Amino acid sequence: MKEFIDNFEQLELGTILLKPQLAKYTTYRVGGIADCMVFPKNVDALVKTCRLIKKYQLPYKVLGKGSNTLFSDRPYHGVIIKLDAFDEAVFYENKVRVGAGFPLIRLASLAAKHALTGLEFASGIPGTVGGAIFMNAGAYKSDMGYIVQSVKVLTPDFKVITLTNQELRFHYRTSFLQTHPKYICIEAILKLHKGKKSAIESVMRERRERRLETQPLEYPSAGSVFRNPKEDLPAGKIIEELGLKGFKKGGAQVSKKHANFIINKNHATASDIHDLILFVQKEVEEKYHITLKVEQEFVNWE
């Protein structure tokens, strides 16, 4: 690790943080300490960073806003790559070319200002563009797959290539990036449509209000824990029917407002949240014979 850090600094590839607390970089506000976190300053620096990681055979993880990630409490002996410097959004025609580190909520607001429709669904999803493409994030019967035209990625053999929408194989909460986690999303071109600014803003306002009413946004969480087993069968409904709303493990609780959210109610550890997720999954399996699939990603658990 020391050689990697020395090289990263000598080559001036960007900012580096030593021993960052991952709890500060995830929306659950939990997670252990990583050996280091790097912020490559551009694509060339990202390529060099990845070459160094390969050279020294280090574990690594790309992290967006950490709004779909549950790190364990253990130290992470590897490199966390953050693409915060990839934060450009250029609007042209009905499209936007946007960096992987750009926050999705801000992008949705910008699109509305440009009177472009298509990103309204994203106005309450607190991730980055890269994380949203990885997850095929979505809501209100729409998702990234509907608007992504193409994505520039760094391949595991350090080539920068462009993948088309079809090649990205978007399906419900998954994409090519999820099945090929060694690819890193650098930027995307999203194709939107001309709309009426006031109408777009009004839809976004309405949905924001609905989220405030129905989701426990006052507590740290990572959104929906489980995928819906069927389109017309929300995971939250099953969990609620089991009477698990309000159920706690340590500082983690199944939200009383929305049963598919687990919240960090009171200084929860990652283990509290993990235990609660597995407990709910087991209860549903035993009582309903349905295996709920966890939507969030567990990192650094064994």
Ligand X SMILES: Cc1cc2nc3c(=O)[nH]c(=O)nc-3n(C[C@H](O)[C@H](O)[C@H](O)COP(=O)(O)OP(=O)(O)OC[C@H]3O[C@@H](n4cnc5c(N)ncnc54)[C@H](O)[C@@H]3O)c2cc1C
145 binds ligand X (CB under 6 A): no
Q: Is residue 130 a contact residue for ligand X (CB under 6 A)?
A: yes
Q: 90 is written with which tokens? A: 């250029």
Tokens of 41: 């300053």
Is residue 268 near ligand X by the rule CB under 6 A?
no
Minimum distance from residue 287 beta carbon to ligand X (Å)? 26
| Residues in 177-206 at the binding interface with ligand X, rule: CB under 6 A | 177, 184-185
228 is a contact residue toward ligand X (CB under 6 A)? no
- Alpha-carbon distance of 129 to 146, in angstroms, equals 14
139 or 160: CB nearest ligand X? 139
Angstrom CA distances, 185 to 12, 52, 107, 171, 302, stand at 22, 18, 17, 17, 26
For residue 89, the cross-strand partners are 98
| Residue in this structure with the two tokens 């009905």, named with its chain if needed | 94
Alpha helices for the chain (secondary structure H): 2-10, 43-55, 104-113, 129-135, 176-179, 197-214, 235-241, 270-288
Among 13, 22, 62, 263, binds ligand X (CB under 6 A): 62
Q: Is 132 in the site for ligand X (CB under 6 A)?
A: yes
Report if residue 67 touches ligand X, rule: CB under 6 A.
Answer: yes
Residue 66 — left, alpha, or beta (φ > 0 → left; ψ -120 to 50 → alpha)?
Answer: left
Active site residues: 173, 224, 295
- Helix (H) or strand (E) holding 76, with range, is strand 76-82
Q: Of 182, 181, 80, 102, which Cα lies nearest the Cα of 135?
A: 181
**Should residue 258 be labelled a site residue for ligand X when binding is judged by CB under 6 A?**
no
- At 278, phi and psi to the nearest 5? -65, -35
Q: Cβ 122 to ligand X, closest distance in Å? A: 8
- Toward ligand X, which CB reaches closer, 108 or 192? 108
Applying CB under 6 A, the span of 10-18, 30-38, 59-67, 107-115 interacting with ligand X comes to: 59-67
Span of 88-96, 108-116, 137-145, 235-243 interacting with ligand X by CB under 6 A:
137-145
Backbone angles phi, psi at 210, to 5 degrees: -65, -40
Choosing from 7, 27, 162, 271, the residue that interacts with ligand X (CB under 6 A) is 27
Residue number, 187 or 272, with CB nearest to ligand X: 187
CB-nearer residue toward ligand X: 67 or 253:
67
Which residue number, 20 or 130, has a Cβ lying nearer to ligand X? 130
Contacting positions for ligand X (CB under 6 A): 27, 61-69, 83, 100, 125-128, 130-132, 134-135, 137-139, 177, 184-185, 215, 217, 221-223, 297
